[in-house]
């Protein structure tokens, strides 16, 4: 845990924490190095190159060649690179260089830097009233940034950045240069009078020292990127009191500086004796595309469901006949053993492969898991073969607990061609959870709402979009 004083010693592996959707753990990752090298040519301070620290002689010679200052190796009379001081001293044939005309490229610049005055370093005190964000705030801001990247979707080759408060994205920009996206946001905020201090900056590109310097000038509290930071960016964030998050993809991210600003939820004890089973075998005919892979909460719908299930159960099984579509999910994938009979085939396969006496079965198109309701159902499983909740529409078999003793009757129904899930219920012990009892935990019965059509997706998005802004947090559940 960084307190703002661990500035990162040269040669020492910086500390980082991995958040996997459930808990924090020490991460074994050293950011790529960013090395400033000041060039002095014939006694003239020419430029500062920001580069990787290897083969610097080649870097300097190539820079001089492409700037037209030398034509051959014979034109370089002396070249000395001091790694400790970050300086290169060069003597070339002929007159010394004149003033270089700066050209700021779309990538990482042409080697010419402009000094940015940084604000006084933040003490990084968790008790000082600084903003604190949840992992869902980060997922949601990253997801909204990706959803707004219309230029990238149409043509590719661009970067995106977005600034928000964890619930609403305030500004978004695209450009072929990642640094330019932040300049665009800063300019728009200036004209519109928007204060960006204490906000989240999400970016699609690498976080360099220049990106951190610009973010610090805007008062940004947290930077999150889909890719990696540099070591200098990590050091600057620690000095400036900025929380730095890299590799924010799906349900995971790595924290490089000031983890106290991210309020990871307290990890509750897992439900013993039950395996979580996600059914991902539907045809999605009415939706027109695979429902499990729909964009949702900065990733895919099934990633959000897996994240919630993993917080409840030690093991998750995904029942699918197309496991290659779900390689990104860190769980075991199993196929139907008696295929062709719909959801009952999936429940049977999950129960057959489960290492525990019970499974909790949930469909991949139901985004509103309610942990309190599931824990209540789990408490009723002893002495039962099926624990199934009821809504106003009847029993909800795709949000239910099934025990191993139900395997025999389940297989009889399958071999008889009876694909309805309830067809074997008269041969097992069933505990129904009444609508009244369900409503104590889920008054709107959102746990049983699934997504079947594009209109369902539209309604879900409307639920999380208030008037006058783009809401990017969790859907309302009560």
- DSSP code string of 351-388: HHH-SSSEEEEEETT-----HHHHHHHHHT-TT-SEEE
Q: Please give the C-alpha separations between residue 111 and each of 34, 61, 101, 105, in angstroms, as whole numbers.
A: 13, 13, 11, 9
Q: How far is CA 366 from the centre of its chain?
A: 21
Burial 295-325 (b: 16+ CB within 10 A, else e): ebbbbbbbbbbbbbbbbbbebbbbbbeeeee
Distance CA 121, CA 420 (A): 64
Q: Model pTM? A: 0.53
Ordered structural domains, the chain, with CATH: 17-30+118-261 (3.40.140.10), 35-92 (3.10.20.10), 274-463 (3.90.550.10)
Regions of the chain where pLDDT drops below 70? 1-15, 96, 98-130, 265-267, 282-289, 297-298, 454, 457-478
Q: Please give the C-alpha separations between residue 24 and each of 19, 31, 127, in angstroms, as whole numbers.
A: 5, 19, 21
Distance CA 68, CA 70 (A): 6
Q: What pLDDT was estimated at residue 88?
A: 92
CB atoms < 10 A from the CB of 444, how many?
Answer: 12
CB atoms < 10 A from the CB of 92, how many?
Answer: 17
332 within 8 A of 388, measured Cβ to Cβ: no
Question: Which tokens in the block code for residue 452?
Answer: 């079947």
Active-site positions read 108
Query: Token pair 């309805």 is at which residue?
Result: 420
Count of alpha carbons within 13 angstroms of residue 246, beta-carbon side = 22
Residue 25 burial (10 A CB sphere; 0-12, 13-18, 19+): exposed
Question: Which tokens in the block code for residue 301?
Answer: 């719908």
Distance CA 160, CA 122 (A): 27
Q: Please give the C-alpha separations between residue 336 and each of 12, 113, 253, 414, in angstroms, as whole numbers.
A: 50, 59, 33, 12
Nearest C-alpha neighbor of 40 from the set 82, 84, 102: 82
Q: What pLDDT was estimated at residue 100?
A: 62
Phi, psi of 362 (to 5 degrees): -145, 140
Q: What pLDDT was estimated at residue 457?
A: 66
- Residue 109: left (phi > 0), alpha (psi -120 to 50), or beta? left
Q: What pLDDT was estimated at residue 194?
A: 92
Q: What is the DSSP string of 447-465?
A: GG----SHHHHHHHHHHT-
Q: What pLDDT was estimated at residue 121?
A: 58
Phi, psi of 38 (to 5 degrees): -85, 130
């Amino acid at each position: 845990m960084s307190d703002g004083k661990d500035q990162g010693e040269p040669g020492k592996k910086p500390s980082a924490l991995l958040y996997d959707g459930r808990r924090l753990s020490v991460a074994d990752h050293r950011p790529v190095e960013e090395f400033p090298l000041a060039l002095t040519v014939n006694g003239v301070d020419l430029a500062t190159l920001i580069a990787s620290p290897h083969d610097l002689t080649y870097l300097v010679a190539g820079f001089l060649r492409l700037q037209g200052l030398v034509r051959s190796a014979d034109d370089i009379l002396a070249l000395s690179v001091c790694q400790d001081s970050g300086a290169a001293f060069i003597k070339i044939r002929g007159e010394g260089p004149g003033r270089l005309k700066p050209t700021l490229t779309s990538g990482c610049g042409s080697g010419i830097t402009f000094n940015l005055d940084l604000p006084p370093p933040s003490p990084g005190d968790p008790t000082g009233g600084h903003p604190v964000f949840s992992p869902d705030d980060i997922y949601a801001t990253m997801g909204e940034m990706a959803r707004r990247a219309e230029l990238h979707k149409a043509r590719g080759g661009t970067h995106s950045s977005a600034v928000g408060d964890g619930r609403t994205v305030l500004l978004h920009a695209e450009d072929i240069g990642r640094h330019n996206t932040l300049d665009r946001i800063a300019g728009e905020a200036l004209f519109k009078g928007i204060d960006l201090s204490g906000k989240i900056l999400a970016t699609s590109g690498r976080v360099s020292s220049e990106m951190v310097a610009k973010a610090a000038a805007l008062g940004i509290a947290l930077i999150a990127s889909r890719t990696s930071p540099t070591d200098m960016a990590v050091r600057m964030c620690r000095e400036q009191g900025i929380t730095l998050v890299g590799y924010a993809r799906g349900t995971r991210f790595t924290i490089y500086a000031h983890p106290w600003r991210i309020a990871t939820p307290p990890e509750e004890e897992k439900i013993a004796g039950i395996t979580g089973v996600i059914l991902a075998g539907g045809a999605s005919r009415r939706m027109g595309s695979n429902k499990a892979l729909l964009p949702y909460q900065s990733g895919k719908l099934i990633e959000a469901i897996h994240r919630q299930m993993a917080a409840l159960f030690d093991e998750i099984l995904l029942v699918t006949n197309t496991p290659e579509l779900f390689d990104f999910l860190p769980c075991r994938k199993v196929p139907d053993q008696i295929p062709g009979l719909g959801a009952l085939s999936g429940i049977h396969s999950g129960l057959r492969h489960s290492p525990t006496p019970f499974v909790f079965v949930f469909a991949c198109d139901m985004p509103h898991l309610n942990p309190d309701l599931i824990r209540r159902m789990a408490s009723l499983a002893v002495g039962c073969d099926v624990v199934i909740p009821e809504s106003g529409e009847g029993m909800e078999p795709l949000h239910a607990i099934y025990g191993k003793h139900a395997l025999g009757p389940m297989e009889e129904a399958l071999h008889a061609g009876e694909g309805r899930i309830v067809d074997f219920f008269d041969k097992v012990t069933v505990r129904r959870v009444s609508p009244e009892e369900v409503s104590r935990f889920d008054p709107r019965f959102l746990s049983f709402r699934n997504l079947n059509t594009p209109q369902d997706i539209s309604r879900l998005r409307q639920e999380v979009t208030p008037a006058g802004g783009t809401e990017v947090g969790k859907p309302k559940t009560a």
